[in-house]
Amino acid sequence: MPAVTDEELVRKSKEDDERAFGELVSRYESKVYSLALRMVRNPEDAEDVLQDTFLRAYRGIKSFQGASTFSTWIYRITANSALMRLRKKQLPTVSIDNADERETPVNIADWSPTPDEQLLNQELQHEMEEAIRSLPAEFQQVFVLRDIEEMSNAEVAEILDLSVAAVKSRLHRARLKVRNRLAGYFSESAKPKRRAMGVH
Amino acid sequence: MLTCKEVLDSLSDYLDADMKEELISEVKRHIGSCSDCRAEFDTLTMTLKLYKHEHAEPTVMPVGCHDRLVKVLELEKLRSKGAPPPKMV
Ligand SMILES: [Zn+2]
């Protein structure tokens, strides 16, 4: 079915065209699964989220107004489903709303990045995983959508039904939290190497 | 002149290049001369690099995942059409 738009498939799905809905499933299932896996962080839960997402989409397609694109709509359902699952299993988290994130970077002042070496450090990756897991679910979501899926602030805001300002604030605090947890690793491999500053 | 706090608060926007040009150059200048803020910036940059690197591989759906999804949706179709729920195997 080449060159059929999502809109067309949505329209047909609303008219009980099962094949059209099946095509939407084929188009989005791996993306939804990937998003789910990155949010819930284990394959069993990700598959549950995947099934839950398309079940809800199937039940809700007739009330889908098309105010957003189908992809935004389906990712929103995915994010909500993942969030509910994360909340059920939420690890004890560090308070992120009240705490002052400005922890003085005394021990990392001379640190500068040495990417290749760092990237190979499994222990560091494990610590990163733990840091992300211990973020409150709402912050994990923003982090995953922005920094992994590389969606724009506006897209994330639309998917999570937040203001752009709220997305930016959550993202900033989530990044700092993760970074703070890794600070010890950074200082250990500190090397007095300056590099040009740039915007990435 | 920007204070350290202002710089730290704007680091994410700076990383994302999501700010006005003149503010970008002010932050850049501050980071160039303040080792604390530079460390903040470097470690934050590294954190994101690590994170992106770790997740760079595309995820693949497990074997049978697609078929199980199709089955779930088929059951839902039957259910919504008023058929009695089929026995679970
Ligand atoms: Zn400073």
What is the mean pLDDT for each group of 10 consecutive residues in chain B (89 residues)?
A: 92 91 94 91 87 81 96 92 62
Is residue A191 helix, strand or coil?
coil
The CATH number of whichever domain residue A60 belongs to comes to 1.10.1740.10
Find out whether A53 and A35 touch, Cβ atoms under 8 Å.
no
Question: In which residue are the tokens 């008023």 written?
Answer: B82
Give yes or no: residues A108 and A82 share one domain: no
Pull the structure tokens for residue A85: 């699952």
Say if A95 falls within a structural domain: no
Query: What confidence score (pLDDT) does residue A106 get?
Result: 38
Query: What confidence score (pLDDT) does residue B72 get?
Result: 96
In whole angstroms, give the CA distance from residue B75 to residue B71.
6
pLDDT at A121 over 50: yes
Out of A39, A60, A89, a domain closes at A89
Number of domains in chain A: 2
B72 and A55: CB-CB below 8 Å? yes
Give yes or no: residues A66 and A132 share one domain: no
Query: What confidence score (pLDDT) does residue A103 get?
Result: 42
Please give the mean pLDDT across all residues of chain A: 80
In whole angstroms, give the CA distance from residue A41 to residue A61.
27
Query: What confidence score (pLDDT) does residue B1 get?
Result: 84
Q: What is the mean pLDDT of residues A10-14?
A: 95
pTM score, whole prediction = 0.77
Find out whether A141 and A85 touch, Cβ atoms under 8 Å.
no
Find out whether A25 and A79 touch, Cβ atoms under 8 Å.
no
Find out whether A83 and A137 touch, Cβ atoms under 8 Å.
yes
B47 and A178: CB-CB below 8 Å? yes
Say if A99 falls within a structural domain: no
Say if A97 falls within a structural domain: no
Residues 6+ apart with CB under 8 A from A190: A108, A110, A111, A112
Q: Residue A99 — very low, low, confident or very high, per pLDDT cuts 50/70/90?
A: very low
Q: Which residues of A touch B16 (CB under 8 A)?
A: 153
B40 and A105: CB-CB below 8 Å? yes
Model confidence pLDDT, tens digit, residues A61-78? 999 988 889 999 999 999
The CATH number of whichever domain residue A126 belongs to comes to 1.10.10.10
For residue A130, the enclosing domain spans 104-196
Q: Residue A110 — very low, low, confident or very high, per pLDDT cuts 50/70/90?
A: very low
CB pairs under 8 A between A and B: 128
Query: What confidence score (pLDDT) does residue A111 get?
Result: 47
In whole angstroms, give the CA distance from residue A62 to residue B86.
25
Say if A168 falls within a structural domain: yes
Residues 6+ apart with CB under 8 A from A192: A110, A112
Give yes or no: residues A62 and A109 share one domain: no
Q: What is the ipTM of this complex?
A: 0.80
Give yes or no: residues A73 and A108 share one domain: no
Query: What confidence score (pLDDT) does residue B23 get?
Result: 92
Model confidence pLDDT, tens digit, residues A162-193? 999 999 999 999 999 988 888 777 764 432 33
Say if A94 falls within a structural domain: no
Determine which of A23, A176, A193 to mutate to test the interface with B (most B C-beta atoms within 10 Å). A176
Is residue B66 helix, strand or coil?
helix
In whole angstroms, give the CA distance from residue A96 to residue A135.
8
